[in-house]
Amino acid sequence: MQSESGGSPWPGQVTVRELADGREIRYFDDRATDGPVHEAVDTRPLGEPPHAGELRLDVLTGEWVTIAGHRMNRTFLPSAADCPLDATRDPARPTEVPDVDYDVVVFANRFPSYAPLVVGPASAGHPEVLGPPDRPATGHCDVIVFSSDHQASVVDLPAERLRTIVEAWAQRTAELSADPTVAEVFVFENSGEEIGVTLSHPHGQVYAYPVVPPRSAQLIERARQYRAATGSNLLADVLAAELAERRRVVLRGEHFSAYVPRAARWPVEVHLAPHRDVPDLAALDDAERNELGGIYQELLRRVNRFHPGIDRVPYISGWHQAPTGEDRKLGRLHLQLFSLLRAPGKLKYLAGSESGMGAWINDTTPERIADRLREVGV
């Protein structure tokens, strides 16, 4: 059966179960099967999930800072034998995933920056000049595990699995965006210890923020100014201009195109955007979702080939989506994929200028980045 968009619908299925502390776990299977699946029970003696921390306003910048003290002792680089994201193949060593195997799973983080559970009133009692009363850091922090294979990487997964991952991204975006306390949903993956990855098992995350994050707020304000001046969508016009100029375009598909932004900040950076105006991953139709997995995987391959002599480049990959509130019309879905590796064995450190003043300096040019990403294409 064909969807209205002309693409085949995802052939998989979703099964929702419950972990020992009440958190839901969602199994996304590449293909639907008859009969009950994933009935294994979580046998761990877990207590109640963590409660939300708090948001404090930085009165000097107007930005909300999340205070999540319970994360200080979160899991850090466990051995492969102790990985909490593996399937539970040994009943004596239960993990976060009770079943003996899985394709993709999604569950709430045990050490969340944002959580739906709140205890106690917001704190006050400080001078007004230091800001308003604290707000609870309500929201959601999902872990999305891409494979039961501990050694796998996204770039090497089969096309069928990438389609399932895209479906999980889209479904969780839709579900979390429906929460009235959520202001924006951010889907991202950190890859490589150099980036700060604390679990080597292939996985990503989904954050549902209670406030619009600073980068998004800045983008929305620029889009608002552009809309007032031109009547158009800023991100859509940037994509159109890049495609027309072609100098920094890296990859062009039927539904998505990738380009290096003209003011790229990182030594390796590329953006991926849909041709159609859509606010988020949930709004993609079947044809777009079907293409996305392959074109995203090709971008990862090119990033991994960027530096001669190495076959894995650490990266951060994040889907910027429209906020859920009144400014939703100003947002537009796009991916930012970048690496801190400026040369083999050499990282770009965010030292004095970038960290202290937010004044970015790139040691290469966006045009050179684009040339290399085209050069290493298949």
Active site residues: 203
* Helix extents (H) in 252-337: 286-304
Tokens of 341: 């590796």
DSSP 157-178: S-HHHHHHHHHHHHHHHHHHHT
From 89, 87, 107, select the one nearest 14 (Cα to Cα): 107
DSSP state of 188: E
Summarize the chain as % helix, strand, coil (round to 5).
25, 25, 50
DSSP state of 56: E
Mutual angle of helices 234-245 and 214-230, in 10-degree steps: 80
Q: Tell me how many helices (H) and strands (E) the chain has.
A: 5, 16
CA–CA distance from 155 to each of 169, 202, 303, 338 (Å)? 17, 10, 10, 15
Between CA 170 and CA 187 the distance in angstroms is 9
Phi, psi torsion values for 234, nearest 5 degrees: -60, -50
DSSP 125-162: -S-GGG-SPPEE-BSEEEEEE--S-TT--GGGS-HHHH
From 338, 342, 331, select the one nearest 317 (Cα to Cα): 338
Answer whether 275's CB lies under 8 Å from 233's CB: no
Tokens of 49: 């999930």
* Helix extents (H) in the chain: 159-177, 214-230, 234-245, 286-304, 366-375
